[in-house]
């Protein structure tokens, strides 16, 4: 597997995550869920 291919696919994954993040943040429920999830992460 060439580095270029790896970079390309990780770029696609990044774009998908950004898109998903925007969808979640656009709803207050998503924002609350995200905040709760982050709190749990930091507690552990």
pLDDT per residue as tens digits for the range 1-44: 566 677 788 888 899 988 887 776 667 777 788 888 988 988 87
pLDDT, residue 33, reads 83
pLDDT value at position 9? 87
Q: How far apart are CA 7 and CA 34, in angstroms?
A: 27
Instruction: Check residue 2 and give its pLDDT.
Output: 64
pLDDT for 25 equals 67
pLDDT score at 24: 66
- Strand (E) or helix (H) holding 41: helix 28-43
* Backbone conformation region of residue 17, classed left if phi is above 0, alpha if psi is from -120 to 50, else beta: alpha
Q: DSSP E strands: which ranges in 1-44?
A: none
Is pTM beyond 0.85 here? no
């Amino acid at each position: 597997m060439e580095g270029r291919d790896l970079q390309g696919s990780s770029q696609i994954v990044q774009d998908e995550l950004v898109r998903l993040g925007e969808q979640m943040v656009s709803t207050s429920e998503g924002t609350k869920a995200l905040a709760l999830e982050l709190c749990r992460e930091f507690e552990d």
